[in-house]
Amino acid sequence: MSGLTERVHTIVDALAGDAVGDDERLGGLARLLAQARGEVDLEFGVAGNEGPLARMRREWSEFRARALGELEARCWVGDGRLRTRVGWTGDLQLVLGPGVGADERASHVRSLRAEFERQARRLEVLTAVAVAARRIAGLLAGPGAAMVSALPVAFACVREAHARGEGGGVPWE
Amino acid sequence: MGVNDIKEAGRSAADTVRKYIEDVAELRVETQTVTPGSDEAPKLAARTTLRLDGDNTTVVPVTAVGGKLEVDAGLHALHMQHVQTAIEYRTRVLEALRELLRGR
């Protein structure tokens, strides 16, 4: 289990056990969960701004579209007479021309490994969202819509888990 | 969200997962050669296919030299480095899928 997923489980454990204490950020997640459960009124923003749950739904929707698009898109590493097309499942298509030296080859393989590292990281984030959503869906009282309602809250939990592990930043980058 | 929307969302998610599992069932690494300045399309020089069921194949080019068949060592080495890198990444993809399927 990745460190990110472990931290996500810790956060969901706290939400499930109503053990957020005086942690403000966990408290914010607990309020989101309560809103998704329908236990509290949705907080509408002022002056036309959206409330926290609506904002999280929008941000999740935007993230999901971008993440799946980027994950499925094949990209090229390198160019010209030494380039490799990379698919998210690991499929590779190496195009090799004449006169490529050992240093270039070694450098190319390092670049390929770096691209795979980025892809694996993205996959880890999406997996963590799905794992969190499955647990949060179990905390929601609704019928079949539970998973759909859980995903934005799960996304918020993963962002918090990322911030706690990496000290901030965007998990996808 | 209506009931039909929920059913559709569930069906769509299931289809997506099924497609992903089908996609990772086979790993394919191909090496093509190109001639700079030529309009010719890249030519397939080597291909390795690894399947989850263990059915693996590698096709590499050989050249007849003095009655012996010899592999292009440089091309083969780079191709196999790519295969190894892809295998390492695929292991992480499978770990992610296992994580998704694991209960807690």
In tens, the pLDDT along B91-100 reads 999 888 888 8
pLDDT value, residue B86: 96
Q: Which residues of A touch B45 (CB under 8 A)?
A: 96
Six token digits for residue B68: 């012996």
Given an 8 Å threshold on Cβ–Cβ distance, is A90 in contact with B9? Answer: no
Number of compact structural domains in chain A: 1
Of A103-107, A123-127, B6-10, B63-67, least confident by mean pLDDT is B6-10
Q: What share of chain B is helix, strand, coil (3-state, %, to 5)?
A: 50, 25, 25
Domain ranges for chain B:
3-101
What is the residue range of A154's domain?
A: 3-73+122-166
Q: Is residue A173 part of a domain?
A: no
pLDDT at B6: 54
Q: Is residue A148 part of a domain?
A: yes
Asked if B85 lies within 8 A of A112 by C-beta distance, the reply is yes
pLDDT tens column, A138-161: 888 665 567 788 999 999 999 999
Interval A121-139: pLDDT, tens: 888 898 899 999 989 998 8
pTM, entire model: 0.82
Does ipTM exceed 0.95? no
Taking each helix axis as running N to C, give the angle between helix B73-101 and helix B3-24, from 0 to 180 degrees, rounded to the nearest 10. 150
Q: Identify the pLDDT of residue A51.
A: 81
For residue A147, list chain B residues with Cβ-Cβ distance below 8 A.
9-10, 13
- Residues on chain A touching B36 (C-beta within 8 angstroms): 81, 97-98
- The answer as to whether A113 is a domain residue is no
